[in-house]
Amino acid sequence: MNLNRLVGSSVFISILLILILYFYPSDVSNQNAISKVIEREDADTMIDKPDENVDKFKTFSESDFDFFVYRAHVLSSEKNSELIVKKIKNGGFPAFIEALEDNNELFVVYVGPFLSEDDIVNNMEAIQKLSESQNGEISRWKL
């Protein structure tokens, strides 16, 4: 029985070695040439793409980012301003507070920004109801 195991093991190892030597790449220089071709193709692709796409990019000016806001309130209490903003946001509209430029003790409640003035006009009734303001004004707001 030991002789059978010894012969079987030697045959198995011999077949395994033959397979390894047969499938093992013998020409390492060929692999280097292939990797250089792949690297060159990647480099050419990277170099060519920016040149092709340069004309496809659009330049933007500051006026491209004009938005509109509805100034709902000017309040002296920041806490009350925050409560109104929270109510407006819960109603589904964007809103924020800014300190008045001339007087840091006054806080302006804005609803928006909106992409167009029509967005405000179309929702004016809901905005006025949520902001509890009937005397607001629409103004242009830039980033």
pTM reported for the whole predicted model: 0.55
pLDDT beyond 80 at 31: no
- State how far the alpha carbon of 139 is from the alpha carbons of 7, 92, 113, 142, in Å: 94, 20, 10, 10
Q: 70: closest CA among 17, 135, 1, 5?
A: 135
pLDDT at 35: 63
pLDDT of residue 141: 77
SS3 24: coil
* Percent share of the chain, pLDDT over 90: 20
Q: Which amino acid is at 105?
A: E
Task: Compute the Cα dihedral for 9, 12, 18, 21 and give only its sign.
Answer: negative
CATH of domain 66-142: 3.30.70.1070
SS3 state of residue 102: coil
What 3-state class would DSSP assign to 141?
strand
How many angstroms separate the CA atoms of 137 and 134, rounded? 9
Instruction: Tell me the pLDDT tens digit for each residue of 52-103.
Output: 555 666 776 666 677 899 999 889 998 999 999 999 999 999 999 998 888 8
Residue 113, preceding bond cis, omega within 30 degrees? yes
pLDDT at res. 43: 54
Residues of CATH 3.30.70.1070 domain(s) within the chain?
Answer: 66-142
- What is the DSSP secondary structure assignment for residue 115, as one 8-state letter? S
CA distance 53 to 55: 6
H helices within 26-122, ranges in order? Answer: 28-53, 78-90, 117-122
Average pLDDT over residues 28-54: 56
